[in-house]
């Protein structure tokens, strides 16, 4: 299976277009080796790669362009809110792991199917930060756009923070037992739908159902994740398909543990405002005190992060759901936004994650 073909397969997620770049230069043929690889392997990779590109071009299946030519092509083909999508499958190490990347003017997100469809990377492009880089700027070397979630730098689920690393997932609870969907490997299927207004499309990830086993109950649950073009929102719906006891119920805890930064080192969280909004408004000004506020029927739970000019919010339409916010502490400097709700067989619970500029 050729790695170039995997890039070519991305056309099915991006309206018939796929892009791949190969660095052309003498480094490939350095007799001393380069990029931690010996000369023989580099030379063969370069030769085989160039030949395969050439064969595809002869068949009319590839157009080679300079970067400036590609920029013109890209501007002509893509409209502003149209996202770039990639349902990527590991072909190098044989794990068959799936990741879905989504990028548009409002966000970049990564969904990991090996962790039950958890969001493991999230960048709030909606804030439209000015981030100058170089000598004489606040960021001499660091050109990264700040994240809200980053499982590699801020631990994710499998973490010494005892489950308090940055991630967007859900916990299924029953009679004192709890299972995080991060522990349930699955696979995803991609589709597109027109929006209700007929403007733009929705990119939909339908995950294969997973079985959650408690001591006295087995639950089959399915996750559907929807990215609506131009909305700056991610909808996550969980549906109970089957229960071994039709009269039983489970509690779903939809949560997002987040922070901000560009590295593994914590930033100053003071200045962040956490809020639960509904018939009343409850607020926490971040002071590392591990406080929590909750409200039944909350319209929205949110975090205002002035340092990166970002507002992140979760909302739900189920009036039985309890919205909550939680402050972290010095050794787990995160914040949590979430909803809990009790549901029974065949019922569905949906939440929407929204990103916006703070003002």
DSSP state of 133: B
CA-to-CA separations, 196 to 97, 200, 228, 237, 238, in angstroms, rounded: 33, 9, 10, 18, 21
- Please give the pLDDT value at position 163: 54
Q: What is the mean pLDDT of the chain?
A: 93
Residues 32, 322: Cα–Cα separation, whole Å: 62
pTM value?
A: 0.93
- Please give the pLDDT value at position 155: 72
Cβ contacts of 252 within 8 Å, gap of 6 or more: 170, 171, 172, 173, 238, 340, 341, 342, 343, 349
* Long-range contacts, 57-66 (Cβ 8 Å, 24+): 61/8
DSSP letters along 287-318, please?
-SS--EEEEET-SEEEEEEGGGTEEEEEEE--
pLDDT at 160 over 50: no
Token pair listed for 216: 């006295």
Residues 126, 33: Cα–Cα separation, whole Å: 43
pLDDT at 346 over 50: yes
Which of the two residues, 295 and 35, has the higher pLDDT score? 295
Which of the two residues, 214 and 15, has the higher pLDDT score? 214
- Please give the pLDDT value at position 194: 87
Residue 41: CB atoms within 10 Å: 11
Contact between 204 and 224 (Cβ < 8 Å): yes
Q: Mean pLDDT over residues 298-323, rounded?
A: 98
3-state secondary structure 155-199: CCCCCCCCCCCCEEEEEEEECCEEEEHHHCCCCEEEEEEECCCCC
Read off the pLDDT of residues 184-226 as tens digits, 9 standing for 90 and up.
999 999 999 988 777 779 999 999 999 999 999 999 999 999 9
Phi, psi dihedral angles at 103 (to 5 degrees):
-145, 130
Read off the pLDDT of residues 246-285 as tens digits, 9 standing for 90 and up.
999 999 999 999 999 999 888 999 999 999 999 999 999 9
Read off the pLDDT of residues 107-146 as tens digits, 9 standing for 90 and up.
999 999 999 999 999 999 999 999 999 999 989 999 999 9
- Please give the pLDDT value at position 159: 55
pLDDT at 105 over 60: yes
Q: Mean pLDDT over residues 68-80, rounded?
A: 93
What SS3 class is residue 64? coil
Q: Where are the domains of the chain?
A: 3-78, 85-267+340-352
| Weakest-pLDDT range from 10-19, 30-39, 210-219, 336-345 | 30-39
Read off the pLDDT of residues 34-56 as tens digits, 9 standing for 90 and up.
777 888 888 898 899 999 999 99
| Weakest-pLDDT range from 18-22, 167-171, 242-246 | 18-22
């Amino acid at each position: 299976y050729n790695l170039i073909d995997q890039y070519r397969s991305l056309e099915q997620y991006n309206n018939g277009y796929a892009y791949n770049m190969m660095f052309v230069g003498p480094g490939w043929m350095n007799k001393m080796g380069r990029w931690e690889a010996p000369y023989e392997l580099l030379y063969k990779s370069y030769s085989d790669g160039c030949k395969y590109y050439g064969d595809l071009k002869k068949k009319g299946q590839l157009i080679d362009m300079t970067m400036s030519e590609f920029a013109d092509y890209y501007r002509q083909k893509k409209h502003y809110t149209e996202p770039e999508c990639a349902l990527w499958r590991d072909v190098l190490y044989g794990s068959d792991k799936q990741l879905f990347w989504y990028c548009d003017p409002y966000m970049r997100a990564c969904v990991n199917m090996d962790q039950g469809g958890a969001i493991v990377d999230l960048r709030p492009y909606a804030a439209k930060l000015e981030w100058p880089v170089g000598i004489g700027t606040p960021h001499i070397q660091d050109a990264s756009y700040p994240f809200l979630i980053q499982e590699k730098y801020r631990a994710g689920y499998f973490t010494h923070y005892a489950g308090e690393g940055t991630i967007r997932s859900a916990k299924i609870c029953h009679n004192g037992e709890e299972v995080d969907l991060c522990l349930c490997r699955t696979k995803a299927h991609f589709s597109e739908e027109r929006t209700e207004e007929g403007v733009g499309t929705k990119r939909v990830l339908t995950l294969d159902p997973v079985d959650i086993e408690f001591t006295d109950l087995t639950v089959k649950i399915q996750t559907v994740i929807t990215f609506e073009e131009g909305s700056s929102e991610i909808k996550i719906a969980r549906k109970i398909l089957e229960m071994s006891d039709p009269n039983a119920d489970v509690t779903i805890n939809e949560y997002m543990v987040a922070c901000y930064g560009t590295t593994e080192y914590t930033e100053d969280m003071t200045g962040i405002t956490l809020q639960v909004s509904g018939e009343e408004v409850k607020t926490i000004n971040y002071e590392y005190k591990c406080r929590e506020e909750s409200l039944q029927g909350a319209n929205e739970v949110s975090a205002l992060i002035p340092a990166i000019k970002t507002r992140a919010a979760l909302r739900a339409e189920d009036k039985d759901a309890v919205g909550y916010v939680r402050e972290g502490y010095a050794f787990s400097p995160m914040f949590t936004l979430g909803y809990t709700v009790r549901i029974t067989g065949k019922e569905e619970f949906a939440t929407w994650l929204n990103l916006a500029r703070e003002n």
